[in-house]
Amino acid sequence: MRTEIILPPEEMPRKWYNIVPDLPEPLPPPKDPEEGESRLDFLSKVLIGECLKQEMSQERWVDIPEGIMELYEQAGRPRQLFRARRLEKYLNTPARMYYKAEFYSPTGSHKVNTALAQAYYAKKEGFERVTTETGAGQWGTALAYAARLCDLECTVYWVRAVYNWKRDRRSFMEMYGAKVYASPSDKTEVGRELLKEDPEHVGSLGIAISEGLEDAEGDPNAVYTLGSVLNHVLMHQTIIGQETKKQFELIDEYPDVVISCIGGGSNFGGFAIPFYHDLLKKKKEIHFIAAQSEASPNLQGKYRYDFADHAEKTPMLKMYTLGHQVKMVPIKGDGLRYHGCSPILSLLRHKGMLDTIAYPPDEEYVFKKAQMFVQKEGFLPAPESAYSVCCAIDEALKCKRNNEEKVIAFNVSGHGLLDLEGYQEVLKF
Ligand SMILES: *Cc1c(COP(=O)(O)O)cnc(C)c1O
């Protein structure tokens, strides 16, 4: 009876899986709005060439370059799969629960899997600097780390409202040598305009995206990067689910239920897409569940073309969306607060292959389950990952009521060691 399922380094998958050619119908392509300049042309000017190519690719398996394999190993891959034996016992459930340990990431989340790939390609294409925006801060930290390992400079525009209170995470990015600016900043035209109106402007992800884009556009040595939503980002993340499948093979198990949290869709996609391959190609029966917040239940929105950002600088994507200028209440699981869901996962949802649950925005229900997890398993999930943990526990309790021996697989996308203030506030200790 194994508790920690370890994949030897030589078993690490050597290709990313691109699900696009296997989808039940063609993926609607990004498009320009009817009016205004071409966003498609603009985006192709500021993105990494190889990533743009991968974004449009119909190739099913894409070789992971040796240099990126080395970076993955440096980052501690493969990561463990754990059987949640103590939690099962406490819940007294007949279900068998397994969780993937993305929280062992050096920066605290799964986002390093694509940050490393993007930084590697940026360096190879001769760029000297990467720019980006960050909301909760996990993406900014992952990119700061990856840029440093690939010998690149890194500029992060961080939504001021979050920048102001997450001092430790800011220091973490600065330890890696990144330049971190509160957004709106005085470094860009967009930022300066907004600061004129209000010098303490709290900012938004949309504004920060505009700043990152403007910065990269104005410097031929800089390139802009994105941490979720897009096809190539989900493809880089498939390393998670491919490892997990091999780990299940090692112990002769196979999941009935696959769960994770969804903001833009990169950790859920990375974890679940290799299992969707089995559903689509091998007719496996798997129940996929996305855990979300009622503050941003994007999978319950409308399936239509919408902008990916507030300022309408990006092309339009066919996705489940709440509207690109929707107002959302703040939550501690800030990484889940995004108006749209990745086009790939949106299509799967549209085809009835992805279930979703949204939890109340006060987060007490979710964080109590996270506390149960930390007390039984010992690992502190990131506030976003707490949603995945909560959903897995709820499913295990359902198995108990129905006396079902299901195998539940869930991803713990990050750790919460820099997010304790959030837990404290909600759980009031
Ligand atoms: C960013 C983030 C998420 C949400 O983003 P996805 O693109 O949906 O994965 C979830 N968990 C953690 C730890 C994150 O940093």
Local confidence band at 44 (pLDDT 50, 70, 90 cut-offs) = confident
359 with 251, same domain: the answer is yes
Probe residue for ligand 1, chosen from 110, 113, 338 as the CB with the greatest number of ligand atoms within 8 Å: 110
How does pLDDT run across 240-270, given as a tens digit for each residue? Answer: 999 999 999 999 999 999 999 999 999 999 9
Same domain for 401 and 273, yes or no, is yes
Looking at the structure, tell me whether residues 223 and 99 fall in a common domain.
Answer: no
- 75 CA to middle of ligand 1, Å? 18
Q: Is the pLDDT of residue 366 over 90?
A: yes
In a domain? residue 30: no
28 in a structural domain: no
In angstroms, what is the span from residue 197 Cα to ligand 1's centroid?
32
Pocket flag, ligand 1, residue 152 (CB < 6 Å): no
Q: Are residues 285 and 377 in the same domain?
A: yes
Answer whether residue 1 shows pLDDT above 80. no
Q: Which domain holds residue 154?
A: 46-60+111-229
- What digits encode the pLDDT tens for the residues 195-248? 999 999 999 888 899 899 999 999 999 999 999 999 999 999 999 999 999 999
Residue 31 counted as domain residue: no
pLDDT at 165: 86
* Position 49 pLDDT exceeds 80: yes
Q: Ligand 1, closest atom to CA 138?
A: 15
Q: 336 falls in which pLDDT band (50, 70, 90)?
A: very high
User: Looking at residue 161, what is its pLDDT?
Assistant: 87
> Is the peptide bond preceding residue 13 cis, with omega within 30 degrees of 0?
no
User: Average pLDDT, stretch 17-36?
Assistant: 97
* Residue identifier of the C-alpha nearest atom 2 of ligand 1: 335
For a pocket test of ligand 1, which of 112, 138, 158, 331 has the largest count of ligand atoms closer than 8 A to its C-beta?
Answer: 138
In a domain, 32, yes or no: no
Q: What is the mean pLDDT of the chain?
A: 96
Q: Which of 163, 196, 229 is the last residue of a domain?
A: 229
Give the H or E element holding residue 81: strand 81-83
The atom of ligand 1 lying closest to the CA of 415 is: 13
Q: Are 141 and 173 in contact (CB under 8 A)?
A: yes
Residue 33 lies in a domain: no
Tell me: do 210 and 237 sit in the same domain. Answer: no
Centroid of ligand 1 to alpha carbon of 336 (angstroms): 6
SS3 of 233, please? helix
State in Å: Cα 199 to ligand 1 middle.
Answer: 30
Choose the final residue of a domain: 205, 229, 253.
229
Q: Give, to the nearest 10 degrees, the angle between helix 138-149 and helix 167-175.
A: 10
Residue 337 neighbours by CB under 8 Å, 6+ apart: 135, 263, 293, 295, 296, 328, 330, 331
- Residue 414 CA to ligand 1 center (angstroms) comes to 8
CA of 239 to the centre of ligand 1 (A): 15
- Ligand 1 close to Cβ of residue 267 (< 6 A): yes
Say whether both 200 and 344 belong to one domain: no
Q: What is the pLDDT of residue 330?
A: 87
User: Is residue 35 one of the residues assigned to a domain?
Assistant: no
Q: Can you give the pLDDT at residue 222?
A: 98
Q: How far is the CA of 383 from the centre of ligand 1 (A)?
A: 10
Q: Is the dihedral of CA 50, 55, 56, 62 positive or negative?
A: positive
Spatial separation of the C-alpha atoms in residues 99 and 200, rounded to whole Å:
42
Quote the ligand 1 centre to 266 CA distance (angstroms): 7
Query: Which amino acid residue places its CA nearest to atom 13 of ligand 1?
Result: 414
Residue 409: strand, helix, or coil: strand
With respect to residue 34, please indicate whether it lies within any of the assigned structural domains: no
Q: Does any ligand 1 atom lie closer than 6 A to the CB of residue 263? A: yes
Answer yes or no: is the C-beta of 342 below 6 A from any ligand 1 atom.
Answer: no
Give the confidence band of 57 by pLDDT, cuts at 50, 70, 90: very high
256 and 366 housed in the same domain: yes
Residues 70, 55 share a domain: no
- In three-state secondary structure terms, 415 is strand
For Cα atoms 130, 131, 132, give the angle at the middle one, nearest 5 degrees. 130
Which atom, in ligand 1's list, is nearest to the CA of 270? 9
What is the total count of domains within the chain? Answer: 2
Structure-block tokens of residue 314: 């990006």
CA of 234 to the centre of ligand 1 (A): 12
285 and 391 both lie in a single domain: yes
Q: What is the CATH number of the domain that holds 370?
A: 3.40.50.1100
Residues 364 and 224 in one domain: no
Question: Quick one: average pLDDT of 35-60?
Answer: 94
Same domain, 262 and 285: yes
**Is residue 334 in some structural domain?**
yes
Ligand 1 within 6 A of 385 CB?
yes
Q: Are residues 244 and 80 in contact, defined by beta-carbon separation less than 8 angstroms?
A: no
Domain endpoint, select from 229, 255, 274: 229
Q: Which of 230, 384, 388, 410 to mutate to test the pocket of ligand 1 (most atoms within 8 A of CB)?
A: 384
Give Cβ neighbours of residue 307 (< 8 Å, ≥ 6 apart).
Answer: 33, 313, 314, 315, 316, 317, 324
| Cα 227 to ligand 1 centre (Å) | 9
Looking at the structure, do residues 248 and 223 belong to the same domain, yes or no? no
Does any ligand 1 atom lie closer than 6 A to the CB of residue 299? no
